A and B are shown apart, each in its own frame.
Chain A
């Protein structure tokens, strides 16, 4: 199993500002994933963060809007840049070792006003 700590758990931000979400895992993992869950919706993968290389973004998500850092095998950050109300969502960090279940952080509930 993996224990994932995600900070902050929630935040209310002004439009036009940026928020950085931190994700700490209690064990070393090669791949970390960032998901967005818009209100009442399913989880959508934003990007895959590999240690030592650039993150891989899914269609509809770009690095300028969601820059990701992966400085080591236990930590990653996701920044939501130049926020608008449409960015109000839950953002989830996840790890999944090969062919096992995915483990999720508690999520960051972001409200942009």
Chain B
């Protein structure tokens, strides 16, 4: 079974629009960690955020914000006032403490295109 689901395969927005990338996860662990990574066209994976299962506080970092809701097993990512440089593939990932917290399960990714 897929542990991390990113239902949106591709999204296109016009520059300065807000966009939300959805992530739904599945785990039986009570302690787990959620992540978002950005993969620009150059291919490297850039870490954006880490959240543990006991911290449901939403987080804002500049134009980025994350909404973690355990009740719906979701960890959504919003980009405000999108820019062309935000164009990339974004991956949501899960690691489980039961498995040592080192192994990551990645979603299938959402390809975001920001049109100037």
Chain A positions near chain B (C-beta within 8 angstroms): 31, 33, 41-45, 48, 90, 92, 94, 96-104, 106-107, 109
Contact = CB atoms under 8 A, between A and B. Distances in A.
A6 to B, nearest CB: 10
B50 A101 contact: yes
26 contacts: A31-B102, A33-B102, A41-B109, A42-B91, A42-B106, A42-B108, A43-B91, A43-B106, A45-B103, A45-B104, A45-B105, A48-B102, A96-B104, A98-B100, A98-B101, A99-B33, A99-B97, A100-B50, A101-B35, A101-B47, A102-B35, A102-B104, A104-B45, A106-B44, A107-B43, A107-B44
B102 A96 contact: yes
Contact of B45 (A31, A92, A97, A98): A92
Interface of B: 33, 35, 43-45, 47, 50, 52, 91, 93, 95, 97, 100-109
B52 A42 contact: no
